[in-house]
Amino acid sequence: MFAGLSLWLAFAIDRSWGEPPARLHPVVCTGRYLGWAGRRIAPAVPGAASRPLRSLVAGALALGVGACATTLLAMALQAWLRRLPPWWGVAGTALALKPLFSWRRLREECGAVEAALARSLDEGRQQLARLVSRDAAQLDAVQVRESAVESLAENLNDSVVAPVFWFVLLGLPGAALYRFANTADAMWGYRGARGGREWEWAGKCAARADDLLSWAPARLRALLIAAAAGGLSWRRLRAEARHTTSPNSGWPMAAMALALRVRLSKPGVYVLHAGAPAPAAAHARRAQRIAGRAVGQLLVLASAVLWASGP
């Protein structure tokens, strides 16, 4: 019961205040470690491909050290919180859980792309560049909007569904471990060179760890989007999800494309719901509403599981 209350309180904190200051944010601390370790495990370009095994082993060790440290710290914190009076424990757990997910920021960043695009294409591109890793400078208005809708659907897992999923299963250690692996994938999980370093082998374990931890939440996320939209064909959803190379990200993006009845694509990479029209501004606003309903359903489902599994 108290874990469920902590979850609702954490979302109330997120809605009211958003992200904590960077100096106090555990994900920022994780990023500092990953940046420091990354400069040591990923060889500089050129000459990077000469010792792939060394890069693979170094990446695995750095990932393992960081994952173990993160999990042990979260376990110690959770054990201490459980020794506090119940309501203090609820408040402390909520404060510890909040930085591990980010619904308000995701919603605002995706909404800001459409608002900027309404003013000018250049502003829309600049706002999108804050949200996605792809080069937005050459995208047209439709592609900017598509990218924002895709990012909302895809990041709904990384920012909300997966941390909550692992919190329900394993408490704070589960949510913290997922957030560490996801941040490692975001910083290391590239194919080829980036930032003057070769990541093909150094970041492979981080990418695979994130794929594994995101597998079940990604499919749950697609089901939540489908339910929020009034239901979708599972067979059609699965077929569309296979059009992407990622084992996970295609599911929520396909669900959103089918829910909105629009085409979503990344030039030269994939096209989802190919026969549908391109998204318009109204579709972007509806995507926000569907995502909001999906988060509400997630909270209810997670609370039910936590309360049902309590003593």
Closest CA to 106 of 180, 29, 19, 5: 19
Cα-based distances in Å from 123 to 9, 115, 161, 288: 35, 9, 30, 20
pLDDT tens track, the chain, 311 positions: 789 999 999 999 999 999 999 888 999 999 999 999 999 999 888 765 568 889 999 999 999 999 999 999 999 999 999 999 999 999 999 999 999 999 999 999 999 999 999 999 999 999 999 888 778 888 999 999 999 999 999 999 999 999 999 999 999 999 999 999 999 999 999 888 888 888 989 999 999 999 999 999 999 999 999 999 887 888 899 999 999 988 899 999 999 999 999 999 988 889 999 989 999 999 999 999 999 999 999 999 999 999 888 65
Closest CA to 109 of 158, 138, 154, 148: 148
- 8's CB contacts (< 8 A; 6+ apart) are 299, 303
DSSP secondary structure code for residue 278 in this structure: P
Q: State both tokens at 135.
A: 């080069």
Helix axes 162-188, 2-17, angle to 10 degrees: 50
Verify cis geometry, omega within 30 degrees of 0, for the bond prior to 46. Answer: yes
**Sign of the alpha-carbon torsion through 196, 202, 206, 212:** positive
Torsion angle defined by CA atoms of residues 127, 129, 130 and 134, in that order, rounded to the nearest 10 degrees: 150
Question: What's the CA gap between 99 and 176, in Å, rounded?
Answer: 9
Closest CA to 150 of 18, 280, 272, 298: 272
Query: 241, 250 in Cβ contact below 8 A?
Result: yes
